């Protein structure tokens, strides 16, 4: 328990102990100063019952012993004993817990003997229903049974409260650990996706720069003799450079560790991709609206990869018995890609930046693709049991 928690606990328990004292001291004034002393001691035990359960048990024993040594009758302040025994089980260490249980047994024996034997002798009259031996033994047994039941019950309730509290704390810590692992896994997935993006874009950028250099050299030699060829070369340079600029903006620094050797996919490769997915048993229904606008090579890769990952998630985590809708909506600003599929009862894809249980690794990758291309990405679970991803890829990266 931290210092701040200890401080707050002492304040709360101190206030409750003060209220307990204010109520019990009214009765104690009738009995005189010995009863007031007992009330003060029991109130002190209550004030430290959570911050120091062991010390609270000792103070409670001192109060009880003082009460018996001064031959005082039972009073309302004696109820503090049950709270102290409860606190030893609920808040004490292992040793204090067992001392609390032992105190419950010993206290029941001493209290029953004090009330059934000592006090009748002091008062000169029996408090038992009869004065014969059998009646006194019966009365002693009833007192012992009531005392041991009450004290052990208080201790047991405290132990149950401790068990529930510890269980909640363990679940809270387990949940924090799970979230931390998922965040670490998510960051790892994002970094892996960035590396793959850098590898994909390397060939595109290198090719664009090679074209620019070749055209620039040609325009320089043809400028004097063939001006029209130079103009054409400059137009080619302009177009390639603009595309390369958009591609370069997809990179987030030096993320590439090795170059990929496979050809880079483009929009024209979507037909082959759909055939592959359909061959795997997924009914993909493609719709394309609007007039296509030119996309840079990097942007085409982004579209291709998003469609690929969306269909892969639908194949792995969706209901393959129902069709998957793929829509490409073209506008002068770019293209909107939408993949919608039915999900099974056991599949719950993560939809936000923080993946839930069993995160779909394709979602952070698709988000990274879209955002690095200057676009947006969204994933959502629909009320009708379907799952939809939507990505908007601009015709050219924002300036």
- pLDDT for 2 equals 52
Average pLDDT over residues 101-115: 89
- pLDDT for 192 equals 72
User: Could you report the per-residue pLDDT of 275-325, keeping only the tens digit for each?
Assistant: 877 776 778 999 999 999 988 888 888 898 899 888 888 877 788 788 999
User: Could you report the per-residue pLDDT of 55-92, keeping only the tens digit for each?
Assistant: 999 999 999 999 888 888 888 888 899 999 999 999 88
Average pLDDT over residues 265-281: 82
Helix or strand (DSSP H, E) at 388: strand 386-394
d(CA 108, CA 96): 18
- pLDDT for 130 equals 47
Q: What is the DSSP letter of 343?
A: B
CA-CA-CA-CA dihedral for 358, 360, 361, 366, to nearest 10:
-160
- pLDDT for 294 equals 87
- pLDDT for 287 equals 93
User: Could you report the per-residue pLDDT of 361-387, keeping only the tens digit for each?
Assistant: 578 878 888 888 889 999 998 888 889
Query: With 60 as the cut, is the pLDDT of residue 259 above it?
Result: no
248: left (phi over 0), alpha (psi -120 to 50) or beta: alpha
- pLDDT for 121 equals 79
Q: What angle do CA 297, 299, 301 make, to 5 degrees?
A: 70
d(CA 364, CA 303): 15
* In contact, 308 and 275? CB cutoff 8 Å: no
- pLDDT for 341 equals 92
Model confidence, pTM: 0.52
- pLDDT for 399 equals 38
At 258, is the pLDDT very low, low, confident or very high (cuts 50, 70, 90)? very low
**DSSP assignment of 68-137:** HHTTPPP-GGGGHHHHHHHHHHHHS-HHHHHHHHHHHHHHHHHHHHIIIIIHHHHHSS--SS-SSHHHHH
d(CA 333, CA 398): 11
* In contact, 259 and 199? CB cutoff 8 Å: yes
CA distances from 45 to 79, 149, 162, 307 (A): 12, 22, 20, 69
d(CA 124, CA 116): 12
């Amino acid at each position: 328990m931290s210092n701040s928690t200890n401080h707050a606990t002492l304040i709360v328990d101190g206030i409750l102990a003060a209220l307990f004292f204010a109520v019990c001291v009214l009765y104690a004034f009738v009995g005189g100063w010995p009863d007031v002393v007992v009330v003060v001691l029991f109130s002190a035990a209550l004030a430290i019952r959570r911050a120091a359960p062991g010390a609270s048990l000792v103070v409670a024993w001192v109060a009880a012993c003082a009460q018996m040594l001064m031959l005082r009758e039972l009073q309302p302040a004696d109820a503090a004993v049950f709270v102290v025994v409860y606190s030893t089980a609920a808040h004490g260490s292992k040793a204090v817990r067992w001392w609390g249980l032992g105190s419950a047994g010993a206290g029941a024996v001493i209290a029953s003997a004090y009330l059934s034997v000592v006090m009748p002798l002091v008062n000169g009259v029996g408090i038992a229903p009869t004065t014969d031996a059998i009646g006194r033994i019966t009365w002693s047994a009833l007192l012992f049974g009531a005392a041991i039941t009450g004290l052990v019950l208080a201790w047991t309730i405290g132990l149950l409260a401790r068990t529930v509290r510890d269980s909640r704390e363990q679940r809270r810590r387990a949940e924090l650990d799970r979230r931390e692992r998922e965040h670490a896994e998510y960051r790892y997935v994002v970094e892996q996706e960035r590396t793959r993006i850098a590898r994909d874009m390397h060939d595109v950028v290198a090719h664009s720069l090679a074209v620019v250099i070749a055209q620039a050299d040609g325009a320089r030699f043809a400028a004097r003799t063939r001006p029209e060829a130079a103009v054409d070369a400059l137009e080619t340079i302009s177009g390639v450079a603009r595309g390369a600029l958009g591609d370069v903006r997809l990179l987030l620094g030096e993320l590439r560790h090795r170059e990929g050797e496979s050809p880079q996919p483009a929009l024209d490769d979507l037909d082959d991709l759909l055939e592959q997915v359909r061959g795997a048993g997924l009914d993909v229904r493609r719709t394309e609206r609007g007039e296509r606008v030119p996309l840079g090579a990097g942007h085409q890769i982004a579209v291709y990869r998003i469609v690929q990952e969306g269909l892969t998630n639908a194949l792995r985590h969706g209901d393959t018995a129902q069709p998957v809708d793929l829509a490409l909506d073209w506008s002068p600003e770019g293209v909107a890609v939408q993949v919608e599929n039915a999900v099974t009862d056991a599949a719950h894809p993560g939809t936000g930046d923080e993946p839930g249980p069993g995160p779909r690794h394709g979602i952070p990758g698709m988000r990274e693709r879209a955002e690095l291309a200057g676009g947006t990405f969204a994933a959502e679970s629909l009320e009708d049991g379907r799952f939809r991803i939507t990505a908007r890829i601009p015709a050219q990266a924002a300036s």
